[in-house]
Structures are given as structure tokens and as C-alpha cells.
Amino acid sequence: MRIFLAGATGVIGVRLVPLLVGAGHEVAGLTRTPAKAAGLEAQGAVPVVADVYDAAALTRALAEFAPELVLHELTDLPDAVAELADARAANARIRVEGTRNLLEAARAAGVTRFLAQSVAWAMPSGEGADAVAELERSVLAFGGTVLRYGQFYGPGTFHPDALPTHPRIHVDEAARRTVEALDAPSGVLTLAEPEE
């Protein structure tokens, strides 16, 4: 399958690219950072350097690659937990505006399969929760699949050495289960470990 992976160089994206390529899929990996394009190419993906907020460039990129599926793994999160509060507005923006631009580009390219990252825990009311609700609403209205991930733990995550509270999932397991979910029907799929 031809898959357009938005967020290909993020914490789960870097794990998804080799899994998808290894499974025989043709992958275009979206990154806004030109320096990361070579790494995507080395992993076997077609690097696409564009900003999700540049709707015209995004639409061109999807039209050129002609994917059968869009996998939306974009977030705008800092590297440190202590900086999360300051990143709330940027992450909410990518969930709303970034998702809208990806959905519109997918429609223009004739894509019918769309999977998008969400969260499996209840967020406190406010901008973040509103953005998650809007992302899920718009993806489901498209006929897509919402992937509600538990909190990631493992190398490169906010919880590299300790287990976060439930819902949670090791980031490698999250990537593996995402690949398994490519054919999931429209709806909400929760990817989290069972609670003991």
C-alpha cells in the first residue's frame, strides 16, 4: 500500500517507517525539517519536506505521491515534560489546523483511508481537550480511524525509564499495533496495555 506518514520523524514515526517499509509498503514521510530528509531516505521512505500549515504545499505533496492511506502521527510537543504546559497551544493547533489541512489534502488526492493519533486518557477541560475532540470528530466525519494511544514509555519518550500511569503503552508496541491497525474500520481504536 502507498502510505503518506505525517510526523515521520517523531517519537512514533521513526519506529513506524522501518516497520511499514519492512512490511512492503511504499512510504512517503512528511517532515518540516530539511535536515531529517536524508534519514527518512536511508530508512527506505520518500522524504517530503513541507509544513502541515502550508495547505497548498501539503495538497501538492499528497497529489504527487498519490497515497492510498494517510497516517497522521503529528504532534507539537517539547522534549521535556517540564515544558509541556508552554506547548499546549502549539499542540492544540496541530491537532485542529494540522488535521484539517491533512484531511483536505487527502480529499483532494482522492484518499479514502485516514488514521490519526489521539489520546486514550481524559484530558482536563480546556484548549487541549477541545483540540482532541475536534481532531476525533473531523477524522470520524471523514470516515477515518482514531488511534487513541496510551501514554508512551520507552526510549525517546517522556517516560524513558519508568512506567507512567494507565492507560499506557510501550512506544515500540504502539508502532507495531499501529501497523496492524492499517485496515481497521472507521471508528475509535484504543492502543494501550491492559490494566493489571
Q: Taking 90 as the threshold, does the pLDDT of residue 117 lie above it? A: yes
Q: Taking 80 as the threshold, does the pLDDT of residue 78 lie above it? A: no
Q: Taking 90 as the threshold, does the pLDDT of residue 84 lie above it? A: no
**Can you tell me the mean pLDDT for 66-77?**
95
Task: Render pLDDT for 121-157 as a digit per residue (tens, 0 to 9).
Answer: 999 899 999 999 999 999 999 999 999 999 999 999 9
Distances (CA, A) of 30 to 13, 61, 118, 122: 10, 9, 18, 29
**Can you tell me the mean pLDDT for 45-65?**
96
Residues in contact with 41: Cβ distance below 8 Å, sequence separation at least 6, in sequence order: 47
Considering the chain, what is the average pLDDT of its residues?
95
In whole angstroms, give the CA distance from residue 69 to residue 168. Answer: 26
For position 158, what pLDDT does the model report?
A: 93
Q: What would the grid cell of residue 56 be?
A: 497548498
Q: Taking 90 as the threshold, does the pLDDT of residue 65 lie above it? A: yes
**DSSP for 82-149?**
GGHHHHHHHHHHIIIIIHHHHHHHHHHTT--EEEEEEESSPPPTTHHHHHHHHHHHHHHHHT-EEEEE
Distances (CA, A) of 65 to 2, 21, 70: 8, 15, 11
Where are the domains positioned within the chain? Answer: 2-191
Lowest mean pLDDT among 27-31, 71-75, 81-85, 191-195: 81-85
For position 85, what pLDDT does the model report?
A: 75
Reported as a pLDDT band with limits 50, 70 and 90, residue 98 is very high
Which class in CATH covers the domain with range 2-191?
alpha beta
Q: pTM to 2 decimals?
A: 0.96
For position 83, what pLDDT does the model report?
A: 80
Q: Taking 80 as the threshold, does the pLDDT of residue 80 lie above it? A: no
For position 170, what pLDDT does the model report?
A: 98
Q: What is the dihedral of CA 110, 146, 132, 117, to 10 degrees?
A: -90
Query: What are the beta bridge partners of residue 114?
Result: 70
Reported as a pLDDT band with limits 50, 70 and 90, residue 87 is confident
Task: Render pLDDT for 175-191 as a digit per residue (tens, 0 to 9).
Answer: 999 999 999 999 999 99
* Residue 179 DSSP label: H
Distances (CA, A) of 172 to 3, 101, 147, 160: 19, 28, 15, 12
